[in-house]
Amino acid sequence: IVACHSKDKGGTVRKHCEVGCIACGKCVKVCPFDAASIENNVSRIDPDKCRVCGLCVPNCPTNAIMDFISTRSKAFITDRCIGCHKCAKICPVDAPSGEQKQKHIVDQDKCIGCGICTAACPKQAIEGTFNTQQVMEAAAAKKAAKEAQQAA
């Protein structure tokens, strides 16, 4: 994941960074690893904290955060799918879809490979190599910290 503050000024960076970061903080809110921060009105991604879950990429309104991980695993739904729709309900980018009680499919262009859908599937019908456990644990810890802060 590369933000617009990248020193690489190639065509891809220029294309995605025409507007640039508007310091909206959406990346900070969605990152379960606290890898994103706003410094001097620009989003910064700490490569030591980032686990490349990809959740920040679709949340950036100006596409200032780009995903260069073309080899990221994508979700694939097997024939074990019972069409319960749990994967579609939890997916942060609405990649899975299908009719109730029928095998669902994953839109590979939308899928960011975070693996959150695998945790929701009661039949283990979603395949791919994900860091789901890390993402889920970090998201839960961040949510608990936020709730504790609000309660204080």
Question: Based on the domain organization, do 99 and 48 belong to the same domain?
Answer: no
Query: What percent of the chain is modeled with pLDDT above 70?
Result: 84
Question: Is residue 82 located within the same domain as residue 59?
Answer: no
Q: Which of 66, 95, 122 lies at the terminal end of a domain, its last residue?
A: 66
Residue 104: inside a domain: yes
In a domain, 51, yes or no: yes
Residues 53 and 111 in one domain: no
| Residue 24 shares a structural domain with residue 59 | yes
* Domain end point (choices 66, 94, 116): 66
Q: How far apart are CA 38 and CA 74, in angstroms?
A: 29
Tokens of 44: 């910064």
Q: Are residues 105 and 45 in the same domain?
A: no
Residue at 10 is within a domain: yes
Q: Same structural domain for residues 62 and 81?
A: no
Q: Are residues 80 and 146 in the same domain?
A: yes
Total domains present in the chain: 2
Task: Scan for tokens 């309104």, then name that residue.
Answer: 61
Query: Domain range holding 35?
Result: 2-66
Task: Give CA–CA dist 68/81, Å, rounded.
Answer: 30
CATH code of residue 18: 3.30.70.20
**pTM score:** 0.57
- Kindly tell me if the per-residue pLDDT of 69 is higher than 70: no
Residues 33 and 94 in one domain: no
The CA distance from 83 to 60, in Å, is: 30
Tell me the mean pLDDT in the region 12-36. 81
Asked whether residue 81 falls in the same domain as residue 147, the answer is yes
Structural domain includes residue 49: yes
Q: What mean pLDDT value characterizes the chain? A: 83
The band of 140, judged by pLDDT with boundaries at 50, 70 and 90, is confident
4, 42 Cβ separation under 8 angstroms: yes
Q: Is the pLDDT of residue 2 over 80?
A: no
> Within this chain, do residues 89 and 140 fall inside the same structural domain, yes or no?
yes
What is the reported pLDDT for 85? 96
Indicate the residue among 66, 91, 109 that finishes a domain.
66
- How confident is residue 16, by pLDDT bands cut at 50, 70 and 90? low
Mean pLDDT, residues 16-33: 84
In this prediction, residues 35-50 reach a mean pLDDT of 88
